[in-house]
Amino acid sequence: MSMDFFLPYLSGLSLAIGTLALVVGSLGLIRLPDVFSRIHAVGMMDTAGVGFIVLGMMIHEGFSLISVKLAAVAVFLFFTSPIATHAVAQVAHKSGFSPVATGAGTTAKKAARKKTGKGKGAGRRQGNGQNKTRGQSPKDQDGQDRCNQENC
């Protein structure tokens, strides 16, 4: 068997890995809690997915002018995607978005809730995501602003 027999399979495998990476990044965009986590997931998987897809197309095409152009596109995307992701994160930060607290900050918040007597679900709406009183915002229900990225 010659190498020409394996090239379509190798190309298809690379295309499949790239597609899978893009799908995983899309799931991260849907599932992650805040804008910074979403940007990170999409930025990483977008670069990897496009890289594998372009590699699959280069393998399929063989060494030609088209594969050189595809390599140029891959290099361009490899450098511009992280820069664009960083720019979006900077704008989000300057607009007032803040990351969801994890680690020690979360532990401190739990301790503060226990001190004040509020339970595990304090500050979050329970149920199907709708207000218990129709027509009122979360701030109107108990006088405190409960509207943030997770709740509204």
pTM of the predicted model as reported, rounded to 2 decimal places: 0.62
Distance CA 83, CA 95 (A): 18
Q: What whole-number distance in Å separates Cα of residue 62 and Cα of residue 11?
A: 10
Q: Does residue 114 register a pLDDT over 90?
A: no
Using one digit for the tens of pLDDT, what is the confidence trace for 4-13? 888 999 999 9
CA 22 to CA 82: how far, in whole Å? 15
Mean pLDDT of the chain: 78
54 and 95 Cβ atoms separated by less than 8 Å: no
